[in-house]
């Protein structure tokens, strides 16, 4: 497989899996379950680009121009980076014959990023420890990242079908 073809498939893989995760979050939001506020992600990224990585409360931090767009871009770039990681670990051949377990495992493992890095940097503590319901928040994050893993597999199947 040519390098450009691999790059295109990996970008589609990450974006497709992120779309599946976003559909899940839309469903959760429709059911009244609190979900990710993408503007706050953009705010955090905007401040990080200016050298400030940690906040006592990202919601109280100064808004950043274009934070919603920045949040969406960061969200999808992260999905693509995780897809790169999956293909790097499993090999390019996985794109031609995707299997479920590696995609699910990677999706679940990626929950470490928000729980151990992003949430503390945004001021809600490790694993949402500074929120009123840390257990529920961690479970929601785990479920969303599990859905991302399912999305990796479904996107890979769709790409394989469309490419061949």
> Which residues neighbour 64 within 8 Å (Cβ) at sequence distance 6 or greater?
42, 43, 45, 46, 47, 70
Q: What is the mean pLDDT of the chain?
A: 97
pLDDT digits 0-9 by tens, 3-26: 999 999 999 999 999 999 999 999
Q: Is-contact 14 76, C-beta < 8 A? A: yes
Q: Does residue 1 surpass a pLDDT of 90?
A: no
> Which residues neighbour 141 within 8 Å (Cβ) at sequence distance 6 or greater?
111, 114, 115, 128
Model confidence, pTM: 0.96
How is residue 68 written in tokens?
A: 């919603």
Domain boundaries, the chain: 3-163
How does residue 116 score in pLDDT terms, banded at 50, 70 and 90? very high
DSSP symbol at 131: S
């Amino acid at each position: 497989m040519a390098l450009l073809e691999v790059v295109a498939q990996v970008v589609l893989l990450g974006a497709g899996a992120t779309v599946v995760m976003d559909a899940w979050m839309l469903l959760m939001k429709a059911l009244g379950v609190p979900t990710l506020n993408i503007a706050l992600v953009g705010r955090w990224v905007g401040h990080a680009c200016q050298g400030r990585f940690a906040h006592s409360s990202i919601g109280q931090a100064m808004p950043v121009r274009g934070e919603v767009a920045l949040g969406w871009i960061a969200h999808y770039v992260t999905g693509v980076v995780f897809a790169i990681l999956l293909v790097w670990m499993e090999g390019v051949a996985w794109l031609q014959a995707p299997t479920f377990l590696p995609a699910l495992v990677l999706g679940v493992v990626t929950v470490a990023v928000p729980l151990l890095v992003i949430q503390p940097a945004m001021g809600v503590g490790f694993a949402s420890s500074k929120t009123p319901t840390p257990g529920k928040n961690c479970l929601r994050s785990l479920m969303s990242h599990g859905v991302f893993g399912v999305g990796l597999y479904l996107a890979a199947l769709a790409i394989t079908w469309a490419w061949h």
